[in-house]
Chain A
Amino acid sequence: MAQAHDNAPDHPVHYQVPELTDSLEASLRSADLITTDRGRTLDFHGRRPSLDEVWALLAQVADPEVPVVSVVDLGIVRELVWAKEVLQVYITPTYSGCPATELIESEIKLALMQAGIAQVSMHQRISPAWTTDWITAQGRAKLKAYGIAPPEGSASKAALFGQVQEVTCPHCNSQNTQRISDFGSTACKSLYKCNACLEPFEYFKCI
């Protein structure tokens, strides 16, 4: 699992995701299904922030469907560029039909505006296609803590097709688990059950 992500291709270079502190985790856990601006503390009114600061801000914008992780954890935000006074934001949608893509765009815009960045230009980039390899180590840890098994292995074709992936139960860490359905409550998740602790759980599938 770690090796797949360590050399994650094309990840934004200069951004370090903030430490997952207890208070950050608590605020993430209490997030509703609808994202809110709770917990955003950065304010850039009256000045142009550095890109690192903007990355840190976006790391607080929750994914609407899996609110425990941010749009940066998921690797949806690909690139930030200042073009004079206009911030250019490049995002890559997870699935072609992901109904949250527009909402994610507006959540990002809203967060930037609330922090004082008024001029924002959003761009969708579909190539290279989004892959679960882009989910950060922090993102994986947060998913697991939330009860969603993070993607295992790299999203190579072998992992996608035919081969049965060993998926670890996020509750008891048993590998004795069983796939119930490739499609869960959202396009990005499969349904599993654990044969050891008997709990059902969702698995963030590799693509």
Chain B
Amino acid sequence: MTNQEALTDYVLRLGDSALILGQRLCEWCGRAPAVEEEMALMNVGLDLIGQARNWMEYAVELQGQGQDADQLAFTRDAHQYRNLLLVEQPNGNYADTCARQYFYDAWHYFTLKALCDSSDARVAEIAAKGLKEVTYHLRRSSEWIKRLGDGTEQSHAKMQAAIDEIWTYTGEAFIADAVDEQMQAAGIGVDLALIHEQWRAHVEATLQEATLTCPDMQAYMQQGSKQGIHTERLGFILAEMQFLQRAYPHSTW
């Protein structure tokens, strides 16, 4: 694989995770437990979709096939998506949404922070822009873990259950494949072992403050998204997200 091909895949992974989580968050529109949460979820989702567009615009330039970012988002099928399995998991109850968001935000924050030093100038630019936004995302989701974990008996139980349930999807991001290794060697991508260490320290500290039990860091982790193998959830997300372009190809407004 040439560096350019590996970079395209690498950039798509970042963009796809942001896009799919942004889409998931939009499902809360009109249903959030409080108006402040409604606004927060929509703002976070919007930030992520904006970041996804920045990554995808770069990906199509790298591919050089004359596509645009919308075509990448709306015409690829599930096996062509490279988002983490974590972000395609359902919203569940509010604790489930908060757990998924927190584990993602912590990974996202340390990843973008490291990518600010990427040898690829465009990657560094997009990361620096996103990092400012993700800093607020992480602060918000960390606060919710603590508030629910260290809240009532019921909120504690739900938060713990949510963490235990999603845990098996949190390790995939840190398992390097050939693309990750090639990008790290080229100075473009991050050192996943380092990100994992930072992520683990953040998670342990947050869960401890939240009086929650941190699951086993050595537990078996689901993986596959880096090769396009997803849970069945992704198909449903795409069916809704891509409906318009599938039903009325090339329509614009």
Contacts and interface: CB of A to CB of B under 8 A. Distances in A.
Interface of A: 95-99, 126-131, 155, 157, 160-162, 180-187, 191, 205, 207
A186 B44 CA distance: 11
A198 B43 CA distance: 26
Contacts of A126: 54, 125-126, 129
B129 A96 contact: yes
B40 A97 contact: no
21 contacts: A95-B133, A96-B54, A96-B133, A97-B22, A97-B48, A97-B51, A99-B46, A126-B129, A127-B121, A128-B128, A129-B125, A129-B128, A129-B129, A157-B135, A160-B132, A181-B36, A187-B46, A187-B47, A187-B133, A191-B39, A207-B133
Q: By DSSP majority rule, is chain B's interface helix, strand, loop, or mixed?
A: helix
Contacts of A128: 128
Contacts of B220: none
Contacts of A95: 46-47, 50, 133
Contacts, number: 77
Interface in B101-158: 121, 124-126, 128-130, 132-133, 135-136, 139-140
Chain A interface mostly helix, strand, loop or mixed?
loop
B49 interface: yes
A95 B47 CA distance: 7
A183 B140 contact: yes
A96 B46 CA distance: 8
A183 B129 CA distance: 18
Given A97-B48, A128-B128, 4 more contacts: A96-B51, A97-B51, A126-B126, A183-B140
Given A96-B51, A97-B49, A181 B136 contact: no
Contacts of B39: 181, 183-185, 191
Interface of B: 22, 36-37, 39-40, 43-44, 46-51, 53-54, 121, 124-126, 128-130, 132-133, 135-136, 139-140
A75 to B, nearest CB: 14
B33 to A, nearest CB: 13
B38 to A, nearest CB: 9
Chain A CB within 10 A, most for which of B39, B128, B135:
B39
Contact of A182 (B50, B51, B53, B136): B136
Contacts of B128: 127-129
Nearest to B44: A183
A99 B53 CA distance: 12
Q: Which 9 A-B pairs have the closest CB atoms?
A: A97-B50, A96-B50, A183-B40, A127-B125, A97-B46, A181-B36, A183-B43, A129-B129, A207-B132
A96 B130 contact: yes
A180 B133 contact: no
Contacts of A185: 39
B141 to A, nearest CB: 10
Contacts of A129: 125, 128-129, 132
Nearest to B41: A183
Contacts of A207: 132-133, 135-136
Contacts of B40: 181-183
Nearest to B121: A127
**Which of A96, A157, A162 has the most chain B CB within a 10 Å cutoff?**
A96
A96 B135 contact: no
A63 B76 CA distance: 35
Contacts of A186: 43
Query: Which of B44, B46, B48, B54 is most buried by chain A, counting CB atoms within 10 A of its CB?
Result: B46
A182 B140 contact: yes
A160 B135 contact: yes
A98 B139 contact: no
Contacts of A191: 36, 39
A198 B51 CA distance: 37
Contacts of B36: 180-181, 183, 191
A17 to B, nearest CB: 25
Nearest to A187: B43
Contact of A96 (B37, B47, B140): B47
A126 B51 CA distance: 11
